[in-house]
Structure 1
Amino acid sequence: MIYPPTQRPPPMSLTTRFSFSKRPYDSPRWVPFPTNVMFRHFEIVNVFDSVAGNITGVSDLYRMKMSAHYSDLVVVRGCPEFGQEWIQLLGDLYGKPIFPVGQLPTSEYEIGDENPAWRTTKEWLDKQPKDSVVYVAFGSEAKPSQNELTEIALGLEKSELPFFGVFRTRRGPSDPDPIELPEGFEERTKGRGVVWTTWAPRLKILGHESVGGFLTHCGCSSLVEAIQNEKALVLLTFLSDQGINARVLEEKKMGYSIRRNELDGSFRRDAVAESLKLVVVGEEGKIVGSVYRETIREIKDKNKNAF
């Protein structure tokens, strides 16, 4: 179904330099429904990187703006059941029809069951109790800082939960700033946790019954695969649109964000451990985790073709 715009031209608040919000964390007045979906201070600072020009002299934001301006319709990765009000608003802002094509879920596993890497991973997961393991992965683009990686690792250690952690210490051979896990971390968590530093079969891991929670950066593909497998989500954003993804999940009670400093985004190992235990273990954790999983299951069931 194509969603035509209900108003033209776009609201004046999009074309002026003035803010129509009374407080920093209010949503703009041109959002015609109540919502908490908005960037936090430390997230919007990261977005400025896409506003600045690059070596070509043209910013990513300008490219996106002009592409939308000269298009006849806008195709989005999304589905009405997950955010019809936002799809309609996007059409109003662009003044163009919006065509949601679903969440584009992964339809096949990346590797077969006989792949050596998966066989080793599966053997370890098979030994863990159901819904007990924390899966940690931050995608191919997001790389924590050295301090962030240290706090994540020590938070995992402090949680005392079994975990499978995919820690990419560099984004490729040309990455000039590799990061390292805390000294002694692997030895102290040996047996309870698995440290993986190369590519891992995310969809297969998320599909295993021992995985009870997913510590994620809120990348779109990661979230879609987690929803496919009905996993409770612990949220830790790093790049541009990930903050908005996290707010949507929070608002729909599908995920829980790690507590952070609002200005610089810093977080402590205690907050990591507390968040993981809240969602995955303990009496309260069973309630919270089950609420998230049930909400995810309901949204998934409402639109089976989208996920």
Structure 2
Amino acid sequence: MAEEGKLHIVLLPWFAFGHMIPFLELSKLLAQKGHKVSFVASPRNINRLPKTPPSFFPKLNFVEISLPHTEGLPENAEATADLPLDKIQYLKKAYDGLQQPLTRFLETSKPNWIILDFASYWLPPIAANLNISTAYFSVFTAPSHCFFGGSEHAFDRTEPEHYTVTPKWIPFPTSIRFRHYEILRLSDGFSENASGVSDLTRSFMTFDGCDLIALRSSFEFETEWLNLLQQLQRKPVIPVGFLPKKIDNDKEDADDTKSNSWKVIKKWLDKQVKESVLYIAFGSESTLSHAESTALAHGLEQSELPFLWALRNGKLPEGFEDRIRPRGLIWTSWAPQLRILSHDSVGGFLNHCGVSSVFEAIQMKKPMILLPLFLDQGLICRVLEEKKLGYPIPRDELDGSFTSESVAESVKLVMGEEEGKMYREKVKEMSGHFADHELQDRYINQFINHLQHHGCRLP
């Protein structure tokens, strides 16, 4: 028998780690408040998630639903990180095959709410038939959603150039728009793929079908964008905070591979001068072209700054590692990013404008050098530039190319020059909102309060 006033909430993320990890963090916060949480994913994805402390059980349950065999999808490929970009369409097709087994689970478990992702556009109608409310938890930013507009704007823009100007429905001054090269890299999301549904269509159908929209955000950070998104979507938009991680809760066993990685990295960082090291990382799924990685490497070399580069993909110029040793450390396996950013010797973060990386940088008071690569990262870059939280490496407007000189000049500006002081000061000023766990707790309480009072099936 359910506890009085307590909810049963099912969470179904899209199978990309940039989505699954925030969904897991939200799940843990809901479970901490005493609600029953069912986190649904494929078996291999569940096994690869960060280990959840025993204290969360039995409130937090992991529900395994296997992906159906799908032609074109390699065996054991269950997340976007397992696939090249051109194969992700087959993962979306397999993901759509979760409809029947998920429906059976919902029929027997009878949850109060389902928190879903952009990819499961087919879920709101299923939930409505079962008298279950739905919340779309978006890992994308409010400005990005506002840029694409409401349903009436979904297909107004028919040419790439239409996305290179700020849309007319944004009523306040902003520089948010795509560069020409960014929209060309994103154009695959506008067309049908092997699943038969474009990413744009998935997003708009999910927006239209859900009962509310939850965002990893706060009114302290982007009031005007959250208010505009609610106007555009005509339904409640509720920020859930930034889901900041506590480093102390991420300890590994002494013999764990991740713990050993941190020991090696920390030993190197401990030898460096305070705020002198540039940390470089582009997430687990972003890939630099050969020309980009070469320009970046030569730029780091020219900057003469100490740096730590978490390099998951890409080929370095011949002899580069020998020339930069011991000033630079190239790390090619898993890197404990939050721990690295928390270290006193790190003074800046060169990244791809991935949401989690951006939030962690602000939380740890690290100014950013920005190099957006795909998806909505270009839009995030514009917002960070407006807020003086990061400085974008200058690039060619048409093809996105950049020079080693622009890399060297950008990192030196942000890391130490007088002209970059505003970035260093602004990120420290803003960090309080991102690291404030009491503020985070208030946002989660407000979110839960809405779920408790506005669902189809009240607890």
Per the shorter chain, which TM-score range? 0.7 to 0.9
Per the alignment, residue 218 of structure 1 pairs with 353
Per the alignment, residue 6 of structure 1 pairs with none
Are 2:282 and 2:351, in contact at CA under 8 Å, matched by a contact in 1? yes
Per the alignment, residue 372 of structure 2 pairs with 237
Alignment of 1:153 with 2:297, yes or no, is yes
Per the alignment, residue 64 of structure 1 pairs with 203
Per the alignment, residue 439 of structure 2 pairs with 305
Per the alignment, residue 195 of structure 1 pairs with 330
Higher helix share: 2
Structure 1 unmatched ranges of 5 or more: 1-9, 170-178
List per-residue Cα deviations over 1:85-120 (Å, max 9, x = no partner).
111111111111111111122234544495221111
Counterpart residue type for residue 147 of structure 1: A
Residues 241, 270 of structure 1: alpha-carbon distance in 2 compared, 3 angstrom cutoff: same
Q: Distance in 1 between matches of 2:168 and 2:437?
A: 30
What's the offset of the Cα at 1:284? Answer: 4.0
TM-score by length of 2: 0.58
Structure 2 unmatched ranges of 5 or more: 1-148, 442-459
Q: Which moved more, 1:218-227 or 1:24-33?
A: 24-33
Q: Distance in 1 between matches of 2:223 and 2:363?
A: 20
List per-residue Cα deviations over 1:115-164 (Å, max 9, x = no partner).
22111111110110000000000001111111111111111111000000
Correspondent of 2:283 among 129, 135, 139:
139
Per the alignment, residue 123 of structure 1 pairs with 267
Are 2:163 and 2:178, in contact at CA under 8 Å, matched by a contact in 1? no
Residues 11, 208 of structure 1: alpha-carbon distance in 2 compared, 3 angstrom cutoff: closer
Correspondent of 2:187 among 23, 48, 51:
48
Per the alignment, residue 275 of structure 1 pairs with 410
Per the alignment, residue 99 of structure 1 pairs with 238
Per the alignment, residue 85 of structure 1 pairs with 224
Provide the identity percentage: 47
Per the alignment, residue 344 of structure 2 pairs with 209
Q: What secondary structure sits across from 2:439 in the alignment?
A: coil
Are 2:150 and 2:233, in contact at CA under 8 Å, matched by a contact in 1? no
List per-residue Cα deviations over 1:218-268 (Å, max 9, x = no partner).
111111111110001000000111111111111111100000001111111
Q: Which moved more, 1:40-49 or 1:66-75?
A: 40-49
Rg larger in 1 or in 2?
A: 2
Residues 79, 12 of structure 1: alpha-carbon distance in 2 compared, 3 angstrom cutoff: closer
Correspondent of 2:212 among 73, 80, 96:
73
Are 2:154 and 2:204, in contact at CA under 8 Å, matched by a contact in 1? no
Are 1:113 and 1:119, in contact at CA under 8 Å, matched by a contact in 2? no
Per the alignment, residue 397 of structure 2 pairs with 262
Alignment of 1:293 with 2:427, yes or no, is yes
Q: Distance in 1 between matches of 2:157 and 2:262?
A: 53
Q: Distance in 2 between matches of 1:159 and 1:12?
A: 46
TM-score by length of 1: 0.86
Residues 266, 134 of structure 1: alpha-carbon distance in 2 compared, 3 angstrom cutoff: same
Q: Distance in 1 between matches of 2:418 and 2:246?
A: 35
Q: Distance in 2 between matches of 1:139 and 1:110?
A: 19
Per the alignment, residue 120 of structure 2 pairs with none
Are 2:388 and 2:422, in contact at CA under 8 Å, matched by a contact in 1? no
Residues 304, 258 of structure 1: alpha-carbon distance in 2 compared, 3 angstrom cutoff: farther
